Amino acid sequence: MEQNNSISIRIKAFFIEIGEITYFSNRFFLEFFSKPFEWRELLRQCYNMGNKSLLLVIITNFIIGLVLTLQTRPTLQEFGAVSWMPSMVSISIIREIGPIITALICAGRIGSGIGAELGSMRVTEQIDAMEVSGTNPFKFLIVTRITATTLMLPLLVIFGDVVALVGSFIVENLKDDVSFVLYFNQVFNAIEFSDLMPATIKTFFFGYAIGLVGCFKGYNSKKGTVGVGIAANSAVVFTSMLLFVIDFIAVFITDIFI
């Protein structure tokens, strides 16, 4: 009986949190279109989230390109289809692997950072001080961060995809002495508009989800300094789950209409 009550309480808390995030999201759009616009803070956040995440994204995607090619190559050799390697790797990376891996990396770095930063501001009453002084903390802290993640994640995904393909090319060049021009000619011949558009569009939703959940968890942090750690951890976990849900919906819609 107690176990059933515990499950029902958790389910109720989950749906309450979904409602609160929805309200938080609606407030973001209302504040986003209202003046004044915090351009300087937005640019600062774009730099912090984009430039400072670039190296991690590049290293991770480069290794993914290497590993994916090395792991796939023996199977293609069995069927005598090694010539299909550039096409297979490029479609896999651009459609799915590049966007979701880069989003998960950013969820770990950016999402947890936002949650911890805003959580510490909440527990040290800095956000309350901004409200008392007449500043709109939601406009300054939340709108700029969510907008920055929404804008920067697609750029990070593009960089990550390119680096992953370069890593794949290096393996092919070492194994079969494939030239750079030949490899990327096959890559561009394999990629179509229907591959690029859905993969690019969903990265905006990935970025929005990372910023939204990180800001929500941090802005509503409680329980003192312990709440900062909880906000950072829950931001990563919740965002990671949400990214897979968004990815499934995007793939499902793409499969129907394209």
d(Cα 219, Cα 122) in Å, to the nearest integer?
A: 6
Average pLDDT over residues 39-53: 90
Burial (Cβ within 10 Å: 0-12, 13-18, ≥19) of residue 191? middle
Average pLDDT over residues 225-230: 82
Helix axes 2-32, 193-219, angle to 10 degrees: 110
List pLDDT tens digits, range 9-28.
888 888 888 899 999 999 99
> Residue 195 above 70 pLDDT?
yes
> Residue 1 above 70 pLDDT?
no
- Between CA 234 and CA 224, with CA 142 as vertex, the angle to 5 degrees is 50
Per the structure, the complete domain to which residue 229 belongs is given by 2-257
> Residue 5 above 90 pLDDT?
no
Residue 16 neighbours by CB distance under 10 Å: 10
Q: What is the mean pLDDT of the chain?
A: 89
pLDDT at position 4: 62
Confidence of residue 3 (pLDDT cuts 50, 70, 90): low
pLDDT at position 80: 82
Confidence of residue 8 (pLDDT cuts 50, 70, 90): confident
Confidence of residue 185 (pLDDT cuts 50, 70, 90): very high
Instruction: Provide the domain count of the chain.
Output: 1
> Residue 249 above 60 pLDDT?
yes
Task: Supply 209's token pair.
Answer: 């989800």
Q: Is the dihedral of CA 79, 72, 245, 50 positive or negative?
A: negative
Nearest alpha carbon to residue 228 among 241, 212, 217: 217
pLDDT at position 51: 86
The model's pTM is 0.91
Confidence of residue 193 (pLDDT cuts 50, 70, 90): confident
Task: Supply 107's token pair.
Answer: 């969820």
pLDDT at position 129: 87
